[in-house]
Structure formats: structure tokens, C-alpha cells
Structure 1
Amino acid sequence: MAADTLRKRNLPTASPTDTSPAFGDGGTGTSDHPAGEIKYGAWSQVLRAMLLLTWFNCGAVCINVTQFLGAPLYWWNKDYYYAYMALTKQSFAILGIAATRWFTPTKIRVSWDKDLRGQFHKNTAGRLETTFPERLVYLANHQVYTEWLYLWWFAYTSKMHGHIFIILKESLKYVPVLGPGMMFYGFIFMARKWASDKPRLEHRLEKLKSRHSGPMSGSAGLDPMWLLIFPEGTNLSANTKRISTRWAEKQGIPNTKHVLLPRSTGLFFCLQQLQGTVEWMYDCTIAYEGTPKGGFAPDYFTIRSTYLQGRPPKCVNMHWRRFAVSSIPLNDAKEFEKWLLDRWREKDDLLEQWYETGYFPGDAEAADASRGISKAGYIETEMTLNNWMEIGQIFVVLASAALVVNVGVKFFRLFTTAR
């Protein structure tokens, strides 16, 4: 999408926001912060932190124990093993979505290019539903550390939250509870040393081209798979932007304003390996309402300010595009690098429009009140669960195991007493 096309859109304008760095740590109470004043005092923040940690840690431990209980399925029936782990992956998505809904209700505004028309609508309860393919690779610019949670929720809207795979830095593998859980999920850990990363990545991608016939195996063909990649490699901040700028100067290429220059090697290899098994690559451009032009979202929307102080982004904006894998130059690394950089410059233009107007371009021709699509061609919704009973999925296996053990102990005592 060309930059001049983006600028021709006649959309409402957003008011400028104060850019003072004094609010970067989320610790001040001034109303000049883009999300307003701190809503919770120090003791309330401590209480919220304890409640959040209790909910998240208890849920994560339950899921992790559930995974270990199901691990022997791998040697008995791999179809059931992968279905079981997909269900535990769903449970983790439910855990994160519920925490966000309770502690920091978040409005989401979704827009899309015209060729995605028909893949988005709101159900009668006002929740977003999407009809994306069962297998795809999807990309996003990276601004805040919780980005993966919003993109996992988006997979939830297509009922694919049990089939997401994320490429992560290797150090996360050693985080207690979460690290082993992510290994069970089949997430891909990278050391950022291509000599050691390449064979590991090749092995994991080969597994993503497999097919199982058991539950959760999809409608047809290969196993469902949403592979999430952040080509920038890290989130946008003052430091990473300086590094990206120096790299642009060293390479003699124009710099970007609102994104980091993408790294192409890993994505190029993934698309090469998955070629013929994935038809589409989807791209999401994310922006957080309240981030001033030239500012950095992590300076304003930290975990502390978002979840504890009650100052989340007023709206998380997502704009979706897609590209046919067959149209992407995958025979030449240099051509692909240029292709990806061009797409990232388009993303930069999208963000420029968003900073100027407060909106990404909408598909106005798709406006349909019955499907929840506004006259401007976007959908506004909230990040929440479709049914709160889904929370029971997190604990059902562990509760069932505890019940079986309890009944077994009682029978054992009864038997030994009778003797």
C-alpha cells in the first residue's frame, strides 16, 4: 500500500499528547499521562499485584502439572498427546485473557485491507469472531512486552488459540514453570546465533509440517498452525531505535520513523521451509492509543502502569494485511530482504497515518451494522472470553486427578481396615 494512498484517507484527527519523559515509568499521578491519573493507590497496587500473581501463578502451575500428567501420552498415542497439549495451550490463553479482562479491561479496534473482507465480524454478544485459515504465518511490529498476549487473543477469536507457535529468545526457556510449559507447547527458542539456531529451527519447522488424525487435528490436511514471528527481534524503545538508526546509516538505506528495521534471515528460512504447506502470510500493525508521535509505548504502558495502576492504553489498534506465500520472493535472500523492508516501510506509513489521525485505514465499503462493522470500516470490541465457564478448563484435569487420588486413598484405607 503506497504512502500517498494512505494520506488521502479522510479520517477523524486525534489530539496531540504530552511527550514528557517524566511519565515513562508509569509512576506519576499526573493527568498528563496518556491514560490519565493513577486509579489505584500504593496499597491497592500491592493488593492488585498479589491477586494478579496469585491468579497467574496458580493457573500456570496447574497448567504445567497438567502437562506433566499428560506427558506419557507421547509414548502411548501421539495423536492424543498433541491434542492434549493443544488443550493446555488453550488453557494458557484463557488464563491471560481472563487476567487482562479483570485487571485492565482493554478496548480493541480492528481494521483490515479490502482483500480480508468477510473474515471479521462481531457476534450477538459483541465479541470479535474471525475466520482465518487453520495454517498461517503471522507477523507484527513489536512495541510492548505484552504484545504476544493480544496476538494470542486474536488467535482465540478464530478458535486457533490451541495451535499458536511463537519464536522466542532462548533465555525464556529457563524461566521456572513457564519455560517447561512453553517447551511442551512446541515453541521455538532462538539463541540469535544462526549457526546453532538453523538446525534447531529446521527440526521444529519439520514437526510443524506433520499431520495427526486425532482430536484437535483440524478439518483436513496438515495440523493447524499459527506461527507468530516478530521480525524486529525486540520491542521498540529509545535504545533499540538508536541501534536500528545506526544500522540504517551503516547500510546506506533510509531509516524508518515508527518501527525498527526488520531482520529477514529467520523469517526467510521459515517461509522457505513451510512453502507449499502454508498459503498465506498475515501481517498485523499494532499501535497503542496515547503513545505520542516520536514516543515509545513501553515508556508509558508498562506491566505496572497497565495492570496495577489502572492506566492501560485506551485502545489497542490492529490493522491486518495478508500476502500470498506464492507471491513472496523465496528463491533469493537479498530479494526477500528488500521485499520485507518494503513491507515494513508500508507499515511505517500506516503508523504515520495512525499518529496523525488516530485511526488506521478502514474498509468503509464493508460497513455492516449487523456484523458490528462501523461506517468507517472497522470493528471495536473488548478483549474478553466468550464464556467464563472456559476458566474451568484450566483446572479440570488437576481436579479430576485429585478426585481419583482421593477416591483411591479412601478405598485403600477401607481395604486395609477391613483386613
Structure 2
Amino acid sequence: MNVKEIAIFHVLLCVTFIVSGLAVNLIQFILYVALRQINPQLFRKLNYYLVYTIYGQLLFLIDWWGPATLNIHCAPDLLDRFATEHAVILMNHHYELDWLYGWMVGDRSGVLGNCRVYGKKVLKYVPVVGWAWNMSDVIFLDRNWEKDKLNLSSKLNELLDYPTPVWILLYPEGTRFSEEKHQASQEFAVSRGLPVLKHHLIPRTKGFSFTVSELDKSRISRLYDVTLVAGTSPTSAPPTLTSILCGRSTEASMYIREYQLKDIPTTDEGSSQWLMNLFKEKDALKDSFLQTGCFSELSGFPKYPPIQRQSRPWSLLISITLNSCVIIPLIYILLTGGIITRLVLVLMLGLAWFAMRKFINITKISKSSSYGAKKSTTSSDDKKKE
């Protein structure tokens, strides 16, 4: 048995994440109160490392504990520009680990602590990650467009004031892919005369259009589209959180394309059409990879050799240090403490196990949504024939 599959190790990693994360939240809060209004740039510089301390423990799981292989296909000079300026990143949301694969690229580009997303407002109340986001200019949405567009308008360009590059990560599909959502999306496309996508949901264009129109093009000039496929290699474990917690290696491939923001229409109709065309191309890229193992073979897009960037050591050092600082004292207290102390520790471990299982269940995708296997390429028309 792989020792990484033993549940107690997962629980201990979770305990360290919670304890250290709450400590980071406290430091963030103190700095937020002391510096945010007086010297916002200094706060942002310091906060970068605090956010990275939290992210680094999750990145450790996919970099070192259950090490993943990530093949990046892009123009030869693209990665050299990737981390030099602010950028908008478009990603598909099809796997339990797609956010972690995105973090791998962000970390190797040196911008992980400045990756920002649009999140549901309820997330700001979640300890550790949610609290960290709430003090880091993450944009929380009410799902009420009249409120949301005012919030977006005021917050978007604040991110561009950061002293180091910021990535604004957007998931235009708006929700994670599942077979049920895909079927509903295809039916919606047919009813509205939109393209029927084989591997993606119809993108939600309103937020994207508003973002493109609001961003100051003099301070942000590039948009990158990422098409991700994971778990198709015979040697890859399913791209799930359970896989990496158990130390199983996964494999993913992504195709990255670069666009100038100034070339994207700023009208609602123009930017919506641009995004729909982009998703037709993403669909062709993913379909080509699922059928041939190559993004370009059937799609007609340029073929690039895969690039694999080595893991940086920081997530490993952060995890070793924090786990040593938390677990060694816990073991000492467990061995030397009284019965009450031991019961409290056991209760704490039980709560950590419950929190971990809750998090895993939240990230799970229904088994009916395949991990990119070729069976997912079956079109809705084929299913009807069956």
C-alpha cells in the first residue's frame, strides 16, 4: 500500500492547512487594518506572500505529494511574456483539478500570489481561503447584475494598480461541466440558434463583455485563452482531489493562445460574438486532442511541442516548515498530555477529517461527467441514436 493513501496523513495535512491558514488570516487582518489605507502598495506586496503561503500548501499536493505532469502547448515566446504584465486568463472548468493545473502555470510564472478570480459572495465568509480572498481584492458577485456591474466597475481597475503582475482568471462557462449541464446547454443552443458545442457549455457573455469594456487598455493589453484536457493518458490517475491526496500522479495538457485586448470588440454584441467564436475554436481543439492526442491534428491550429516546466521549491519548503511547526507540537502534546488533552486533540483531528471530506465532496464532479475520456466525444445526436 502506498503510505500516501493512509488517511491520517491527509488529516494531518488538513490540520496544518487550517491552523496555519487561520494564522495567516490574522496577520492579513492586522496588516489590512494598519496598512491598507496608509500604504496600499506595501500591503499588496506583503499580502502576496501571505496569499502564497496558503496557496502553496495546496500547490504542494499537485507538485510534490501527487506530482502531476503538465504539458503546455503554445507559441515559443509566449511563456516569456506570460508573467511580465497584467493579463486576463480564460479557462474551461471541466475537472476537479483544473484550478490547480492553472495554479501550476501561475506559480512557474511567478504570479500565483496575485491570481484573482470572480467568486460567489458567500465564499468571502469561508475561513482561510475565503477570508484571505476578502482581504485581497478578489471580486465577489451577488448574482444580481445591477449590483455586480457596479462592483466590477469599481474593483477591476484597482487590480491593475498592483505593483506586480496580476492575472484575472475568468471561467466564461460560469459553472463546472457535467453531462446534465452539457445536455441542457446543447438544448439551449438549439433553441437560440447558437453553435452546439460537443465539449463545452455555452459561455455566459455578459460578465466577459463588461470586463472587456471596463478594463483600462493602457494598463492591461493581453488576454490568454487556455484549453485544458486532463486524465486521458493511460498512465494518468483520474484528475481528482482524491487522486493527488493519495499520491497518485495525474497528467494534463493545455493549449494556450494569446490575444490583444484592443482587438476584442467592446460592444456587448461584438464581444459576445467574439467569445462564442472562441469557444467554437476551443471545442475543436479539445475534440482534436481527445480523438488524436494532439490539439492541432484535426483543429487546424498551429502545432507546438509540449513544454514541461519544473516545479519551484517554495511550495515544498512552505509545506515542510508549516507541517513541522504544527504536527511536531501536536505529537508532543499527545504523548505527554493528560486524558482531557488527548480527547481534545482527537476531537480536533475528527473535525479536520470532517472538513477535509466536506471540501473533497464540494470539488467532486458527478461520475456521469467523464474525465475527458473518448466516450465524452459522443455527440448528443449519437446518444439519441443509441
TM-score, normalisation: structure 1: 0.68
| Alignment-derived partner of residue 117 in structure 1 | 76
Measured at CA, do residues 387 and 77 of structure 1 come closer, stay the same or move farther in structure 2, by a change above 3 Å? closer
The C-alpha deviation readout for 1:129-158, integer Å capped at 9, x for no partner, is: 774332111101111243222212212222
Secondary structure at 2:169 match in 1: strand
Measured at CA, do residues 393 and 79 of structure 1 come closer, stay the same or move farther in structure 2, by a change above 3 Å? farther
Q: How far 1:339 sits from its partner (Å)?
A: 1.0
Measured at CA, do residues 44 and 80 of structure 1 come closer, stay the same or move farther in structure 2, by a change above 3 Å? same
Percent of paired sites with the same residue: 26
Q: 1:180 aligns with which of 131, 134, 148?
A: 131
| Alignment-derived partner of residue 101 in structure 1 | 63
**Please, which runs of 5 or more residues in structure 1 have no aligned partner?**
1-38, 121-128, 212-216, 219-223, 363-374, 400-419
Q: 1:53 aligns with which of 3, 8, 14?
A: 14
Task: Please give the residue correspondences for 1:247-286 in structure 2 after superposition, counting only pairs within 5 Å.
Answer: 247-276=188-217, 277-286=219-228
Q: How far 1:237 sits from its partner (Å)?
A: 0.8
Secondary structure at 2:167 match in 1: strand
The C-alpha deviation readout for 1:155-210, integer Å capped at 9, x for no partner, is: 22221122221111222222123221111121111122212211111121131243
Measured at CA, do residues 132 and 101 of structure 1 come closer, stay the same or move farther in structure 2, by a change above 3 Å? closer
Secondary structure at 1:151 match in 2: helix
Measured at CA, do residues 321 and 80 of structure 1 come closer, stay the same or move farther in structure 2, by a change above 3 Å? same
1:80 aligns with 2:42: yes
1:335 aligns with 2:270: yes
The C-alpha deviation readout for 1:23-43, integer Å capped at 9, x for no partner, is: xxxxxxxxxxxxxxxx659x9
Q: Looking at CA atoms only, which structure, 1 or 2, has the larger radius of gyration?
A: 1
Distance 1:392 1:141 in 2: 29
**Please, which runs of 5 or more residues in structure 2 have no aligned partner?**
298-302, 327-386
**Alignment RMSD (CA, Å):** 3.0
**1:137·1:226 contact (CA, 8 Å) conserved in 2?**
yes
Measured at CA, do residues 228 and 393 of structure 1 come closer, stay the same or move farther in structure 2, by a change above 3 Å? farther
| Alignment-derived partner of residue 19 in structure 1 | none
| Alignment-derived partner of residue 34 in structure 1 | none
Secondary structure at 2:12 match in 1: helix
Q: How far 1:69 sits from its partner (Å)?
A: 2.8
**2:108·2:312 contact (CA, 8 Å) conserved in 1?**
no
Task: Please give the residue correspondences for 1:1-80 in structure 2 after superposition, counting only pairs within 5 Å.
Answer: 44-71=5-32, 72-80=34-42
Measured at CA, do residues 290 and 377 of structure 1 come closer, stay the same or move farther in structure 2, by a change above 3 Å? closer
Task: Please give the residue correspondences for 1:8-407 in structure 2 after superposition, counting only pairs within 5 Å.
Answer: 44-71=5-32, 72-112=34-74, 116-120=75-79, 131-210=82-161, 217-218=163-164, 224-276=165-217, 277-290=219-232, 300-304=238-242, 306-313=243-250, 315-330=251-266, 332-361=267-296, 377-381=305-309, 384-387=311-314, 390-391=317-318
**1:236·1:259 contact (CA, 8 Å) conserved in 2?**
yes
Distance 1:93 1:84 in 2: 15
Q: How far 1:376 sits from its partner (Å)?
A: 6.1
Amino acid at match of 1:301: P
Secondary structure at 1:285 match in 2: strand
Larger RCO, structures 1/2 (Cα 8 Å, 6+ apart): 1
Measured at CA, do residues 281 and 44 of structure 1 come closer, stay the same or move farther in structure 2, by a change above 3 Å? closer
Distance 1:275 1:347 in 2: 26
Distance 2:30 2:140 in 1: 24
